[in-house]
Structure 1
Amino acid sequence: MSITDHPYAAPSGVLLGHFTPGTAAWNEARAGLSITATEIAAVVGLSPWMSRFTLWHKKSGLNVAPFEMTSAVEWGSRLEDPVAAKWQDEHPGQLAAPAGTWRHREREWQRATPDRLIYPQPEGEFETPDQADALLEVKTSPFGDDWGPSGADDGVPLHYRCQVMWQMDVLGLPRTHFAVLISGHDYREYVIEYDEGDAKILRDAAVQFLDEVRSGVRPPIDGADDTYQTVRVQPDGFDDIDVEIPLDAAARYELAQDQMGAAKTELTAAKSVVLDHLGTGRRAVANGRRIAYRIPKPDGTTKSLSPYKTSKEAA
């Protein structure tokens, strides 16, 4: 029988504990040849933050660039409780409580740390029930470009869908609710149902990935920035010598340099054309869609031109 057949399925995974992120105990619970919910998107090549190449080096015990706290990560952490409280206000009769770190009851390498477990809470009862029936995942986003309208079936970015599918598979729960705060004021909700087929695809990919780690089969180098950062931290010394490299590697590098130069020249020309059309205006619009915006200097001349999709104005 599938977990989706159980309306109230107490988590069937194994609770490892409640750990503070970044502590030794937290790192230990996530260490070794395990795959966590935040890593599974990297395994299947869908993570915007970590490449398969970088994750392979991490799991192989090799050097990776140190984690850097960004403002987005910091504020996402600071706002988790208020956004979860908003979901709680919108769903009387359900209690969202901290979930802790879990592993699958049989596959010890399959780990997850959901944001909250959701428990049914009849009116007048204030103790946490024994059975949880869903998960709550809390997210914040500065612009919301990747999120669909609230409640949309396809409104959740694919890498987050991978994350919660993994979490549900680990804990044995049938659905995940999303509470998302966009631009600091746009609150949205979504629901993802467990899908055994999708979960199996992720499990099979994880098994193959861990086999490649054990066998020393390194993934190919890709164009992700964190892959470049991982390559940068591999050398453990410096020798002032010449090193012969393959001709195709040299040609690829030189061609990319030439193309980058040409692209920069074309971008400068394109920006000049847009600014020429803008004149004293602020926003460039094409067929009703905002393309770029101009920031003026005090005297009215142009300080800069930026693409609209990456600006705060896009929110």
Structure 2
Amino acid sequence: MSTSGTAEHPYPVPEGVLIGHLTPGTEAWEEARTGLTITATEIAAVVNLSPWMSRFTLWHKKAGLRVAPFEMSSPIEWGVRLEDAVALKWQEEHPGFLAAPAGTWRHREREWQRATPDRLIYPQPAGEFEVPDQAEELLEVKTSPFGDDWGPDGADDGVPIWYRCQVIWQMDTLGLRRTRFAVLIGGHDYREYTVEYDAAEAQILRDAAVDFLNEVRNGSRPPIDGADDTYQTIRVQPDGFDDIDVEIPPVDAARYENAQIAAKAAAAELTAAKGVVLDHIGTGRRAVCDDRRIAYRIAKADGTTKSLNPYKQKEAA
């Protein structure tokens, strides 16, 4: 198997070509991610498994059409701020290995396949002047306010499916065969997981990516789905405003009107259900049922309720 090292990144990986160490949000970083490429953070959207971006929105992005501008949320901001601290924790837990910033890579043959892992893991040199051998694994650092999407510490299936897609894509791009996860949940719950490379899964993702890019080239727009970011993408498409009537199909008119009625009924039922649960909680913190956490209460300084929030429930197998 061939190796690839560069002046910027002297330690090789089995496959992959280093594009550079690019700062997120810069012009160079955006350029490496746009056009007819698929990055590791986009592959879950390609296969309709991303909780953040729909296939519809990604199609518009790759087609060079408008999408809603990126907004820095608190979880994203603190994830960035805490990445080095969590990576350092992993480093302390694993003496004998060096976790170094990875940079942005492309596959040696499939130039459209891109990945920006958090860290590359090398065997720690035994001597002061020894150079580490070839990178052996990847380290992916995550933070989460709640652990509902994550399994118990070290569980084989503990990584959310969208992150599994991400690291399978990263390993396939760089030619590595194992990814370690260092995860900080709720600011204090540190967990680790391992994902092994799966060639069959990688092939499924590659095939899906090829089909998706062909759809972009052919102008075959995905159907409109119920994701919020799909709606936000549609909102930013018109360029201008014409004060005219536009005839729409009866089936779409009926769907919209029926959904409005259903939404009002659902909102009223949700308000009533929240009231019942909040009444049960009283001065407590969480509502549980048969060892399942249902909702949690955030209180104001005077003890009254600021909000009632649901815990995410995993789909039944």
- Give 3-state SS (helix, strand or coil) of 1:140's partner: strand
Cα distance, 1:130 vs. partner? 4.2
118, 122, 125: which one pairs with 1:119?
122
Q: TM-score, normalised by structure 1?
A: 0.90
- Asked whether 1:213 is paired with 2:216, we answer yes
| 1:181 matched residue in structure 2 | 184
| 1:165 matched residue in structure 2 | 168
- Asked whether 1:201 is paired with 2:183, we answer no
| 2:231 matched residue in structure 1 | 228
Structure 2 CA distance for partners of 1:294 and 1:90, relative to 1, 3 Å = closer
CA distance in 2, matches of 1:98, 1:154: 26
| 2:86 matched residue in structure 1 | 83
Is contact 1:9-1:173 (8 Å) kept?
Answer: no
Cα distance, 1:147 vs. partner? 0.5
The alignment of Structure 1 onto Structure 2 pairs a total of residues equal to 304
Cα distance, 1:173 vs. partner? 0.6
Cα distance, 1:299 vs. partner? 7.9
| 1:57 matched residue in structure 2 | 60
CA distance in 2, matches of 1:140, 1:281: 26
CA distance in 1, matches of 2:256, 2:32: 41
263, 266, 269: which one pairs with 2:269?
266
After superposition, the C-alpha distances for 1:64-114 in whole angstroms (9 at most, x for unaligned) are 001111111111111111111111111111101111111111011101111
Structure 2 CA distance for partners of 1:39 and 1:276, relative to 1, 3 Å = closer
After superposition, the C-alpha distances for 1:222-274 in whole angstroms (9 at most, x for unaligned) are 00010000000000000011100111111111111100111112123323434
Is contact 1:119-1:128 (8 Å) kept?
Answer: no
Cα distance, 1:195 vs. partner? 0.7
306, 309, 312: which one pairs with 2:308?
306
CA distance in 2, matches of 1:280, 1:106: 60
| 1:18 matched residue in structure 2 | 21
CA distance in 1, matches of 2:76, 2:53: 14
Cα distance, 1:280 vs. partner? 6.1
Which structure 2 residues correspond to residues 85-100 of structure 1 after superposition, within 5 A?
A: 85-100=88-103
Cα distance, 1:12 vs. partner? 1.4
- Structure 1 portions without partners, runs of 5+: 2-7, 311-315
Partner amino acid for 1:271?
Answer: K
CA distance in 2, matches of 1:275, 1:28: 49
CA distance in 2, matches of 1:12, 1:299: 58
Identical residues among aligned pairs (%): 78
CA distance in 2, matches of 1:239, 1:305: 41
| 2:5 matched residue in structure 1 | none
| 1:155 matched residue in structure 2 | 158
| 2:6 matched residue in structure 1 | none
